[in-house]
Amino acid sequence: MKILVTGADGFIGSHLTEMLVRLGHDVRAFVLYNSFGSWGWLDRCGDDVHGKFEVFAGDIRDPHGVRTAMRGCDTVLHLASLIAIPYSYHSPDTYVDTNIKGTLNVVQAARELGAARVVHTSTSEVYGTARYVPIDEEHPLQGQSPYSASKIGADQIALSFHAAFATPVAVLRPFNTYGPRQSARAVIPTVITQIAAGQRRIKLGALHPTRDFSYVEDTARGFVAAMTADACIGQVTNIGSGFEISIGDTARAIAEVMGVEIGIECDAQRLRPENSEVERLFASYARASERMGWSPEYGGAEGFKRGLAKTVEWFSDPANRAGYKADRYNI
C-alpha cells in the first residue's frame, strides 16, 4: 500500500509515519515547504525509519502541489492542519485557508485520482462543551473558537465528497492527543517543560475544564485501523481514552511523576474568552471498537499514568527540550 501522510512533519504525523514504515508500508511524507529544508520532527525520526520513506515538501493550501503529492498513492491520511486555538483568535483567516481549503484540495485530488481511501483528521474540539457524556458521534457540533469552526467546516467538506461523489472518506475524531514531541502550546508539555526548567510555580490558564487525553501511540493506531475498516467510510469515528481528568489534576499528576511539589498560578493571557472555553470533553469510543476493532492501550487512569511517564521521560532529555521555550507562553 502506498500511503500519503499530510502533516507528516508534525507531532502526530511524525509518530504515524514511523509506525507505518515499521509496519512495512510504502510512505510518502507531505511536509510543509520551508527555506531551511526542515522536515520537522521527521528530521529526528528513529534510526530504523530514517531513509525508508519518501518526502514531498509542499503546502496543503496549494491544489496543484496536493495533487502532485497524491499521484500513485492508494491511501491518504490527512493530518495537515493549523491546530493552536489561541492563534486562531487573531489569525482566523489562515485557519480557513489551511483547514477548510486544504481539506478541499485533498478530497478533490482524491476524487480526481481515484484514491482508495482518505482518512481525514477531525478533533474533539468540534463538540464544544459536552452537553452529555460520554460524547458519542451524534453529539451536536459547537464551534466555540475559530479553530473548532474551521475543523467543523473541514469535516463537512470531507463528508460532502463522500455523499456527493462517493469519494471513500472516513473522518477520524481523536480527543486530546499527548506524548513525546507535542508542542509546548498544549497543556501537558507546558507543565513538563516548566518543571524541567526548575520552576515550581506553574503558570496555566483555567484549571477546572476536563479533558480525555489519548496517548499518541493510540491515536496513530487509530489511523492505521481506519485505513482498512470499510465500516468507517462516510462516517465519523471517535477515538479517546475513556478517562476524564481536569487540567488542574493533570498538572498535579505530572508533578507526581516528576517527583516534585508544585503550586499553580493563573496566567490571564492563557485564558480563553469566556464563551470559547470548552468546559468538558469525555469520549465514547464504542464505535471505534465496533467499526475497526480499536481500543486504547493507554486507557483509563492507569493508562494515563503510563502515558505520562513515557512523555516525561522523553521531555527529561535536554536534547529533546532544546527547541522548547519554557520561559514564555507559546500559542
Q: How much is the mean pLDDT over the chain?
A: 97
pTM metric for this prediction:
0.97
- Verify that 154 and 253 share a domain, yes or no: no
Strands (E), the chain: 2-6, 26-32, 54-58, 75-78, 117-121, 169-174, 176-178, 201-204, 210-211, 213-215, 236-239, 245-246, 263-266
- Verify that 80 and 203 share a domain, yes or no: no
Query: Is 90 exceeded by the pLDDT of residue 215?
Result: yes
Q: Are 267 and 204 in contact (CB under 8 A)?
A: yes
Confirm whether 326 is domain-assigned. no
- Verify that 202 and 314 share a domain, yes or no: yes
**pLDDT confidence of 260, banded at 50, 70, 90?**
very high
Confirm whether 260 is domain-assigned. yes
Query: Is 90 exceeded by the pLDDT of residue 297?
Result: yes
Contacts of residue 268, defined as CB under 8 A and 6 or more positions apart, other chains included, come to none
Number of domains composing the chain: 2
Q: What's the mean pLDDT in 90-109?
A: 98
- Verify that 85 and 198 share a domain, yes or no: no
- Verify that 162 and 310 share a domain, yes or no: no
Q: What string of DSSP letters covers 287-301?
A: HHHHHH----TT-HH
Task: Identify the CATH number of the domain in which residue 114 sits.
Answer: 3.40.50.720
- Verify that 193 and 45 share a domain, yes or no: no
- Verify that 120 and 233 share a domain, yes or no: yes
Q: What's the mean pLDDT in 74-100?
A: 97
Dig out the grid coordinates for 225 from the structure.
485501523
Q: What's the mean pLDDT in 30-41?
A: 97
Confirm whether 331 is domain-assigned. no
Dig out the grid coordinates for 148 from the structure.
473548532
- What pLDDT is attached to residue 331? 85
Q: Are 93 and 100 in contact (CB under 8 A)?
A: no
- What pLDDT is attached to residue 327? 84
- Verify that 112 and 248 share a domain, yes or no: no
Confirm whether 41 is domain-assigned. yes
Query: Is 90 exceeded by the pLDDT of residue 326?
Result: no
Task: Identify the CATH number of the domain in which residue 311 sits.
Answer: 3.90.25.10
- What pLDDT is attached to residue 64? 98
**pLDDT confidence of 84, banded at 50, 70, 90?**
very high
What's the domain range around 312? 187-209+244-279+303-321
- Verify that 90 and 139 share a domain, yes or no: yes
> For residue 67, which phi and psi values (nearest 5 degrees)?
-65, -40
- Verify that 149 and 90 share a domain, yes or no: yes
Confirm whether 329 is domain-assigned. no
